[in-house]
Chain A
């Protein structure tokens, strides 16, 4: 766990570490104190929507990078879904070669400013960091994510962004459905390969979950806009207000002369727990709550026209990043008591450690081992309370998480006026429903050939949450990258075959 409360080194100490880095043995590097970044004070930040952690300064980033042991077997690279050369870029950072470092990252990851902020590093690159193993504490891993974010911010604000070179025009056109992380990545790569890339987006803005879901305090929207703008400069075209499946179909796209299609429509369909009282006034899906607050700017109501309910007492159901985002957004919208209700225990929560830590610091009240059983109503049909049943942990389920078992008769009522359900999202059915030749799994995700991301229909590729189910931004980007390479191969040699559907 990171502990931003710890003081950083003095400027002199930081300088000394960076200057003396060459004389350090691996063992000595592994023993160097971690450089903690500063953060907005919890009491202040719940009253604004600004980003919580402050970026490393240049000298802090260099001093932190010095801690990397440059292990031979590179466990951090293995942990990264897109295999960013972590030791390679850390070495360049330590030397102060920020330009070289950002170039190296961008060879495999087009959106480092975003990944540095929203990747679950502790279960990816930082999970297997040898420095953490030396200290027997995951919190001591080299802060790969924070350094990555620093580099991307440095490039954007000081260094000047170097756009990847656009390939010589191939005359081939690719339609990309959905302007989320997967679609954006795929489009960028296709431009590098010289193909025309047109992104069709249902909303009025690009970014997908980066703009409707993840709040400003975790991922500032000007960063997303800058990345989207870079893609525009690379020649990626955007068509907003276009709901593929309704405004046009996939067949229309082929009829209009597109040579291939990449479906990246995400997991936008919210699940509800299915307990009595979910139609009461004051019950939201996290998708709706966050979309109102983020994309539609309801936190600025009435300057922005879209409202969102503001009440003193809020319950959020779930234990993932979306639940943390909703709970922390509720605090920023003025709630006095925000309860996070989760059926299992803290250890099973899928959220990033940093988000759990931030939520707790900000005063979110965790109600672990609690299953929602009913939402209780006022006589006017508004939420009055959430009835929960206490649970204990039983045997692990198929995913290895211990199953919560309700304890008979152990009920509690949380007095709340808003209930936000953040228990997960399913794949959006619009494309599978309106496109002939696509096959879905029983979860509603699209069947693809894992090597090429091609669906069961020739020329139609898919990736991100529409294939993986609700997953991570980085995995969606990895799919986008893999698909772009496969689309390139397909366009050069259209003999590639669609995915075979194995019903098992």
Chain B
């Protein structure tokens, strides 16, 4: 069970796994996630499903190595190996509809993906396109080599707009700039953006929501908080939405971005930062021959001074 059929490096510390999980593949709908436990001593981490192949009975996960568990997955697991546990699909599927619009209305959806948020965005973009909506995907990263899923998203979308912080690919700038430009140009031409969906680092989702708010464009964000069971049992994933505690695992993972307390969420995401660093350092010490050691060190340094918190296993 849960054998790795394909493992492929997509970029710096970003790895794609196609994993055998027929029951998950059969039931999966866009927006859902799995809880994955790589081996018997691992944490259980939430990972959003990027793609499924029902014929092969497999699901695709894209993992960014940020902590011990995800580095271990990247470095110690190979094609033919198996993960101990994969449970899912969990969470509510994306509601493929435009809020406040008649059911037969076909409009425009802006899918805004930051970094490896591109992977979980793929099934969502595809589902809206299949439902007959225009899908404009905005894909952003810090640099060209951090862009993932450009091809897949390109073919799933009506239009793909790429941007990088340093201008090494596509437009130079943030996804928020491109999103704002898109809404303005559509409105100037008598059209509109009827729904925005943002998936990526918390800070990016926060600013996407801030960007769309003055325009009144409904905005969904897909959250990836720390979880233990993923089925509503522990409450560790709770996030404040409009002043009320919501469980990301069973109430989400998608919420109205205009009502999510992103600052509180980012603070909770950093709750185990010292433990995460200690765990990663210990892993590195135990494995001095590791060829990825520089990358581990860089990740530790980055985690220590990170302005934007990112939990282990953040893929959204």
Contact = CB atoms under 8 A, between A and B. Distances in A.
B90 interface: yes
Interface in A307-322: 307, 309
A389 interface: no
B275 A301 contact: yes
A304 B90 contact: no
Q: Which of B84, B89, B231, B278 gathers most chain A CB within 10 Å?
A: B231
Given A246-B27, A247-B24, A296 B89 contact: no
A297 B238 CA distance: 22
A241 B86 contact: yes
A248 to B, nearest CB: 7
Contacts of B232: 268-269, 428-430
A459 B116 CA distance: 45
Contact of B87 (A247, A268, A279, A288): A247
Contact of A246 (B90, B238, B279): B90
B233 A281 contact: no
B interface, by DSSP: helix, strand, loop or mixed? Answer: mixed
Contacts of B89: 246-247
B88 A243 contact: yes
A381 interface: yes
Given A204-B85, A270-B233, A279-B240, A288 B279 contact: no
Given A204-B85, A281-B268, A272 B27 contact: no
B236 A284 contact: yes
Contacts of B172: none
Interface string B35-52: 001000111100000000
Given A279-B240, A291-B233, A305-B42, A247 B268 contact: no
Nearest to B280: A302
B298 interface: no
Given A241-B86, A243-B87, A204 B37 contact: yes
A302 B88 contact: no
Interface in B247-281: 250, 261, 264, 267-268, 270-272, 275-276, 278-279
A242 interface: yes
A interface, by DSSP: helix, strand, loop or mixed? Answer: loop
Interface in B83-134: 84-90
Interface range for A:
35 or more
A278 interface: yes
A104 B274 CA distance: 53
Contacts of B69: 305
Contact of A279 (B37, B44, B233, B238): B238
Contacts of B180: none
Contacts of B24: 247
A217 B235 CA distance: 24
B231 A287 contact: no
A242 B264 contact: no
Contact of B41 (A203, A281, A304): A304
Interface in B198-243: 228-229, 231-236, 238-240
A284 B235 CA distance: 8
Contacts of A282: 271
B316 interface: no
Interface string A402-431: 000000000000000000000000001110
Contact of A202 (B23, B231, B279): B231
A381 B262 CA distance: 13
Nearest to A267: B233
A240 interface: yes
Given A247-B27, A272-B245, A288 B235 contact: yes
A430 B238 CA distance: 17
B271 A309 contact: yes
B282 interface: yes
Contacts of B90: 243, 246
B87 A428 contact: no
A292 interface: yes
Given A270-B234, A305-B43, A306-B43, A241 B87 contact: yes
Q: Which of B43, B233, B261 gathers most chain A CB within 10 Å?
A: B233
Interface in A425-441: 428-430
A185 interface: no
B235 A203 contact: no
A248 B42 contact: no
B279 A302 contact: yes
A270 B233 CA distance: 6
A306 B279 CA distance: 9
B85 A243 contact: no
Contact of B229 (A291, A301, A380): A291
Nearest to A268: B233
Contact of A296 (B43, B86, B233, B279): B43
A411 B24 CA distance: 51
Contact of A240 (B85, B250, B268, B275): B85
A303 interface: yes
21 contacts: A203-B87, A204-B87, A241-B1, A242-B87, A243-B90, A247-B23, A247-B88, A270-B234, A279-B264, A281-B267, A281-B270, A287-B235, A296-B43, A297-B41, A302-B282, A305-B279, A307-B276, A307-B279, A309-B272, A429-B232, A430-B250
Interface of A: 202-204, 212, 240-243, 246-248, 268-270, 272, 278-279, 281-282, 284-285, 287-288, 291-292, 296-297, 301-307, 309, 380-381, 428-430
Given A287-B233, A287-B234, A296-B43, 14 more contacts: A241-B85, A246-B27, A247-B27, A247-B89, A268-B233, A269-B232, A269-B233, A279-B240, A279-B264, A288-B235, A291-B229, A305-B68, A306-B228, A428-B233
Q: Which 7 A-B pairs have the closest CB atoms?
A: A288-B234, A307-B275, A241-B87, A268-B233, A285-B235, A204-B85, A381-B267
